[in-house]
Amino acid sequence: MTDANDSFQKLEDKLVRVVELFQQAQGEKRALREELEELKAELKERAKRSDALERELHALRREREELRGRVEKILQQIDVLTKADPGG
């Protein structure tokens, strides 16, 4: 009878351990899901920021090209004025 009780006790111990491991795994799964949601939110924010920076970069490049054109026109006007005044 003792062997049967020992076997039953071992089985019970194993079942308790399985339940503990299962509960631990569920807790880890919950924690990982929360972390995943946080990472998704962070990624979404970074994507928004990246889009905003990209738009800003395009605007700055357009502005730079406009300024370059204006400076070239001014330089051309200066060149014309300096060539028109040979005594200058």
**86 or 76, higher pLDDT:** 76
Instruction: Say what the pLDDT of residue 19 is.
Output: 97
pLDDT tens per residue across span 16-64: 999 999 999 999 999 999 999 999 999 999 999 999 999 999 999 999 9
Answer yes or no: is pLDDT of 88 > 80: no
CA distances from 15 to 2, 6, 12, 18, 65 (A): 20, 14, 5, 5, 73
Answer yes or no: is pLDDT of 14 > 80: yes
Q: Are the beta carbons of 82 and 88 closer than 8 angstroms?
A: yes
DSSP notation for 4-71:
HHHHHHHHHHHHHHHHHHHHHHHHHHHHHHHHHHHHHHHHHHHHHHHHHHHHHHHHHHHHHHHHHHHH
* Enclosing H/E stretch for 83: helix 2-84
Helix (H, G, I), strand (E, B) or coil at 88: coil
pTM: 0.59
